[in-house]
Chain A
């Protein structure tokens, strides 16, 4: 911290400037500057200079943000799977092979490619109907206790056993991602999902691929849809407008509106007088899914919901006519907390049940009459529904289908019609073969990748051909049936692998951009001597020039390389050329460069923490146990600062440092008790975030946590202000009143929410709902509207006191000595820190509101820890060290886990969107979910400037440069993590655990980096503008 020391200047002007500055300083050191006209002018100049330097800093970090975004975009677009969508449609009159048994194809009335079995169908989706909900529990020979979700919907299992020719029940395995939108695509097109659609759950987009619904529509069938409105996003205008009823699907806290709507409208349609008005009904119940999201499966609400479904199915069976097929299925399952999206067993295992009044269904073995005891036995894929329904209803199989007809539906009541089974499988396989051929042509795929499947295709045709023309026993068709099945299985496997085909050049180029940006950031943050704000203009200028040049080069290159998409070339050249521009700027200022490698134990610890964490992400175990690793690192930091504090010379520093270090460790450990375990951590982890491991509601005792936070947190923060007598002016208004009131309101919100959830006051639900939303909005207004007004316009937290001259208080500055009294400025010692830290408390309030009660405790502790950390950094004189910003990164990542999150899709708390709003509103909905998910990282990022401002003298030189250095270091931490997770995800792209572990961690890392970039630029660095201007209003500008 050699603020006054002169540095080797790189320009003559700088030297002259420094001289002038030194003279001015001398003049200023005489005492408070007299406000002459000259001084006022100089002051104005200082302000203009600061605003310009600050603006350039914001621009520079924004530019880093853009580089990060470009690199992440390029990698992501090559990494998240892509599948070419073929526009071909199957046609009724054009079967993929000549038909067997002299059947004349081409008529929807009798059946397009195969004689149809049913005239009409009712297809009901019970969202998130997990397979184990439908089978009896406990299984024979086990004495486990049934849960709420067990034995509540017995109808499916009973009918399958008692009337095996009318019904069958099978495990129905979803292809991840297990989000409803993706599942509906799979269930209607019969093809595999690609990951890139996973994020579009907010707004679905129409399916243009060939699909069952489109085929039905082409055949002039009248289709009715009832329930979840996602269908309308996928199939706009396909349904009978006057019979169809769609309901908002996103309000997961509403268990009944959608379900009651479906039930109210479906039974009238099943009346004999109305059955002529429609051909196919798609009904989509959401209650089970919403009960899972809201309460988790282990809750009486789930039991009630499943029993309601049971009754409805019973009623449907009663009213069903002979020519109609009834299908009940889940589109995916749910994990132990009732969420879904990923690919754990519980999430992909749904149930499928088909029922008909005619005795049409059979089993190939009598043992198969009993539905499988677990979803691991005899499972069928969800895409198998597509060819099955198509052939049963006499439709052509959609062109892109990869599924196989379900055995039970075609084998006949006696379970021996292998001829029929062979015929339908031949049809399905031929369509698959036709599709594969077209796909291979369109994508120019090498024949070698298809060699095995082509061989199987030949074998199947030979097996079929050997029977051709002869009327044989049904058993002899077993061979061709098996051969066609084998071909379908192999093709499905090839497609899974093929569509897991990554665009490696894009990924590599994305990683290159991220790596170059990382180097730039590393040099900027750690490799420059002196004030960064002086050097940022030249960096920004050269970087910008480089980018502009890169765009030109990119245009030229894209002409030369017509095979590569222009957007890819442009992004790559402009980003790389921009980093080269910055590199040239570094060369220009080379005399100011120092080695970015650490030289102190703190530097090495910063590097060690970051590198160990990054290396660990290559192993699934370390990724799974990231929360524990972070706890370990944070405690290590606390122990080291305890040791370091004991080395301090001043007893006060020693005592304060030790106290805050030990406090920091203990708070970390207390916070670590809040856990939400991911599936892979079982059985070594016990979730405490909600009432139980199978719940997503808080226990009653947890409701007390926000109140404790409201009572204690403002007191603790006040103490940190009190140490330097900075609890003055607006700080009293904010900390003493507004913050506390806001925290109390937030606590009240969660109590009301629990009352609404648990239905404590029946009949008052609507009032509770309205009240809690209003309370949430008021809290937000206090935190951000009132908070920012206070932050922007309040004076520095100072007070003037005249007292006897013997007062020896270090927190106040004696400005006019002599005579009997002196005037002291209270709060002088921490004027910058106390002023800026207000921003932390504001955002803390906003973030606490959007966390569940347990999360409010975690964020409360995090806020307390932030202030402790500021004291630790100050007493150990580490403001210049990288350890502060790095530990803030660790702390943010740690509390991410402590606020009930994991690096998995299913742990996203979507319901946050409804805290201050009733419906989805852009852009607020995604912003709220982001604030909930990354609240901890956001809070810690906001605290970064405070590290270098806490207890710094108001007129210290180069404070803005120090802020830039700290912010750069903080971003560096996340950039390293992001680069590591990106590289590991790319490198391990064939790993078994890619979608379960590495890919979600990569997405988390990328999102966190972008969010932290944004917050650092616009909230943290942006906030320093307000606080610096406010301090300078009193103390004037130093440069």
Chain B
């Protein structure tokens, strides 16, 4: 086979790792955020173990708020990725420069609305997909549907909300995200960490320790939270800019 069929005749600019916004609030909050998320989870852990469904449901609200605060404060919204120089290059020739709007308006238009859209997409698209994946991996098929759905929702909020915010909904970008072709940054690291954490979270379930917290889906959610924090940290520092190679 000599001709390589390429569905993208125009080669795309190589994706760059996401930088957090260059302001003090962003730099501060990006470190504060994981601590807040973990403490929030730790605070609710007891009630989640006691009765997972209501506790996990109510935990979704503060998690959403924290995640929205995180993306709005720290991350560049979609189409705004990378440094400003890159943004200039990306602008298509002939495109008009928009008039500069007011600061608050910018805040709402450029940050808050995309953040809420990301939340919506994470809940409506990512959650069902992740829930289905959980079932495929062996989650109970006839019982515990709400448990599994809530577990999927937590994973979605942790992993996909920031990704949707920074990368939008472009199909090709999402192919690259799923195919693990993007360079690692703290957002992508958060996704990988959450998923790996949830995977590892399945390990203690079969053990015969007879602990309350071994019940479905506590360990998975816990693994996802810890994985998110570790992944975000490692992705933003140690592995930043690295690419995942399969071969």
Q: Which chain A residues have a beta carbon within 8 Å of chain B's beta carbons?
A: 600-602, 619-622, 624-625, 628-629, 631-632, 635-636, 639, 642-644, 646-647, 649-652, 665-666, 668-669, 672-673, 810
Contacts and interface: CB of A to CB of B under 8 A. Distances in A.
Top 9 closest pairs, chain A to chain B, by CB: A646-B179, A625-B206, A647-B179, A621-B206, A621-B207, A621-B208, A635-B137, A601-B246, A669-B136
Contacts of A665: 136
Given A600-B247, A622-B206, A625-B206, A666 B5 contact: no
13 contacts: A622-B207, A628-B138, A628-B206, A631-B137, A632-B138, A635-B137, A642-B178, A643-B246, A644-B179, A646-B175, A646-B178, A649-B6, A650-B4
Contacts of A622: 206-207
Contact of B138 (A600, A643, A647, A672): A672
Interface string B173-211: 001001111000000000000000001001000111000
B47 interface: no
Interface in B1-59: 1, 4-7
A37 to B, nearest CB: 36
Q: Helix, strand, loop or mixed for chain B's interface?
A: loop
A647 B5 contact: no
Interface of B: 1, 4-7, 133, 135-138, 141, 175, 178-181, 199, 202, 206-208, 244-247
Q: Helix, strand, loop or mixed for chain A's interface?
A: helix
Contacts of A643: 178-180, 246
Contacts of B4: 649-650
Given A622-B206, A646-B175, A673-B141, A635 B246 contact: no
A810 B1 CA distance: 9
Contacts of B206: 621-622, 624-625, 628-629
A651 B5 contact: yes
A632 B138 CA distance: 7
Contacts of A632: 137-138, 202
A636 B136 CA distance: 10
Contact of A620 (B5, B208, B244, B247): B208
A669 B6 contact: no
A878 to B, nearest CB: 9
B108 to A, nearest CB: 35
B199 A636 contact: yes
Nearest to B1: A810
Given A644-B246, A646-B178, A669-B138, 11 more contacts: A600-B245, A601-B244, A619-B207, A629-B206, A639-B133, A643-B178, A646-B179, A647-B179, A647-B180, A649-B5, A669-B136
Nearest to B137: A635
A14 to B, nearest CB: 29
Given A621-B207, A632-B202, A651 B175 contact: no
Nearest to B4: A649
A649 B1 CA distance: 13
Contacts of B178: 642-643, 646
Contacts of B133: 639
Contacts of B179: 643-644, 646-647
A668 B135 CA distance: 12
Contacts of A600: 245-247
B141 A635 contact: no
B137 A652 contact: no
B175 A602 contact: no
Contacts of A642: 178
A665 B4 CA distance: 29
Given A631-B137, A632-B137, A652 B5 contact: yes
A649 B181 CA distance: 12
B179 to A, nearest CB: 4
A647 B207 contact: no
Nearest to A646: B179
A241 B135 CA distance: 64
A622 B205 CA distance: 10
B246 A650 contact: no
Nearest to A631: B138
A673 B208 CA distance: 23
A632 B200 CA distance: 11
A677 to B, nearest CB: 13
Contacts of B136: 635, 665-666, 668-669
Contacts of B138: 628, 631-632, 635, 669, 672
A650 B245 CA distance: 18
A644 B141 CA distance: 27
A877 to B, nearest CB: 9
A636 B133 CA distance: 10
A669 B135 contact: yes
Nearest to A651: B7
Contacts of B247: 600-602
A602 B207 contact: no
Nearest to A599: B247
Contacts of B180: 643, 647
A128 B91 CA distance: 82
